[in-house]
Amino acid sequence: NVHVTRYPASGSISFSKYHPGKYLVAWHPKSSEENERTTVVIKTPKFGEILYRQIAGAMARRIVNYAEKGESVQQGDDSGFIKFGSRVDLFLPLDCQINVKLNQKVKGAHTCIATFVDPNEKEEITY
């Protein structure tokens, strides 16, 4: 049930693409591959790339994405929105510690989704 989306990390946009598609309900397993969506990749200085997707659902049918390739972005800033809400998928490095539970409701710019510890620096980074 996402409306406003925010950048999950600071860095530069290395990829931003709109994908037209279907309007399956957001929780459908194929919605992240078949529905209208945007895909954005942020290159971060600490650990590489993070990918997130805004996915339209059966009711939303309108995604607004602010991310532009080459742009510098800050964690927590608005990255766009989905009219009537829908779903956002966040792809993080495999060695992140996930701080939320399955089906937990989270709030943008308030809930810490995951923590990443750089093994070379021992510095925690939160999403």
The residues annotated as belonging to the active site are 86
Show the tokens assigned to 38. 């945007």
The Cα 31–Cα 36 span in angstroms is 8
Alpha helices, H only, 20-121: 31-34
Cα–Cα separations (whole angstroms), residue 117 to 9, 32, 74, 97: 14, 28, 19, 8
**AA letter at 9:** A
